[in-house]
Every structure is written in C-alpha cells, then in structure tokens.
Amino acid sequence: MRPKKILILDYSVARDETPAIKRWLPADTQVSALYIDTERSFPDELISRDFTHVIHSGSALSITKTAPFTSKAVDYIRSARDKGVSQFGICYGHQLVCLALVGESAVRSSPNGLEAGWRSVTLTSYGRSILGVGETEVVWQMHFDEVTEMPEGSELLATNAHTEIQAYINREQRIVGTQFHPEFDKEAGDRAFLQDRELLERSNCDVSEIVAGGPSIEAGRIFFNYFLGEV
C-alpha cells in the first residue's frame, strides 16, 4: 500500500490550525505543514512534491477578500485535483477549494451573519451511512462566509438552517469539504472561543453560554479517518 504523505496548508492567522489537525492524524503517516500568509510562502514547486493528501485549513481571513496567496492557492488546488491528490477543505479552506473549482459565484458573506458556537448540523442519509453518525450532531462553528455551490458531482453530507452546505464529498475529484471545524475538540474549541471573546461579544454572542456546550462526536477522528481511508 502506498504510504500516506499528508500536507497541511495552514492559512490560520494565529497558526493554531496545524496542531489541532495533527492530533487526529495516524502516527504511521508522514505529515508536513506550511504556514501560508504571503505569496512567497506558497512554493512555486509545491505541486511537484509527492503528497497523497492535502488539508486546507481554516482561517480568520475572509474568502471574499483576495489574499496575497489566493492566486497560487487556486492554481495549486486545481493542479492537485488534476494530479489525483485527495483534498480536504475546512471552513476557509473549504471555501477556497470551491472558489478554485467552481468560481467566485460559489462563495459569499453569509446573509445570516456570524455562526459561532457548538452548533448542530443535520446529516443527510448519505452522510450518516458513510460516516456512522447520527441524524443531528453538534460541532465547532465560527464563520462569517459560506459556500453556495459545490464542485460538479458533489454529494451533500451535512446542512443546517444557517448554512446549507455544511459538509460535502466529491468522490470523482477526491474532495471533502466542511464548513464547520472537525479538528476542534471540547478543550481546543473552548480555548479558541475564549481567545475570541471580544469578537464574539461584539456580535452579541454569550461566550459563557457557548463554552457551557460541547461536541456530540469526535468529529476530527470521524472525518479525518474517513478522508484518509476512503477518499
């Protein structure tokens, strides 16, 4: 069996995504990570490296604003897809993948505003069947932007009243995307909410109420194991 070589493209401003993701990855995989914040930080020759799986992280950046690295990221996502590399996009990364493979019309600022907290999503029958989860599960959410159109041939895995496309899979293009953050467990998720208390309170969110909640599943284990084993 070909060994799994995983690349984490970490777009997080606080550089907190890589450790949160790594803790869920099997010990027998080779994991590399790059922090991406400038055009120069995205290597021109990256597509020539022999990664089997790429994880595009979340970020405090908005997909509606072009970042210094956006053009390179878009080119890389398209080239990786054409090369047959499996890709997983999380929140900003999920939006970035759809921007690359569908176009600018696929992403927008959410008309429902901020979604933050330990929030419920409803799994589709297909999502439940392949992931082995319940019809409703609670996961970590923090986003202002959303995806409105999935790459052609995708199947919806999860949804809710705030954001229709909460998770999807595209087997032909070897892509998984989640609007929510499966990498955050209760401890890491609450820590992030507390660090962003000022932002959340400006958006009329009660942080004490938020951290009183928690996840219903180990989303990191479920989603990353599925991604690495089946996509």
Domain locations along the chain? 5-108+145-186+218-230
Q: What is the pTM of this model?
A: 0.98
Determine the pLDDT at residue 2: 75
Per the annotation, the verdict on 181 as an active-site residue is yes
Query: 3-state class of 191 per DSSP?
Result: helix
Residue with tokens 């467990």: 185
Alpha-carbon span 68 to 4, nearest angstrom: 30
What pLDDT, in 10s, does the model give residues 207-216? 999 999 999 9
Per the annotation, the verdict on 98 as an active-site residue is no
Task: Spot the catalytic one: 53, 56, 91, 137.
Answer: 91
Per the annotation, the verdict on 162 as an active-site residue is no
Determine the pLDDT at residue 217: 98
Determine the pLDDT at residue 3: 85
In CATH, 5-108+145-186+218-230 is 2.40.50.100: no
Task: Spot the catalytic one: 56, 94, 162, 181.
Answer: 181
Parts of the chain with a pLDDT under 70: 1
Alpha-carbon span 13 to 63, nearest angstrom: 14
Report the first-to-last Cα separation within the chain, whole angstroms. 15
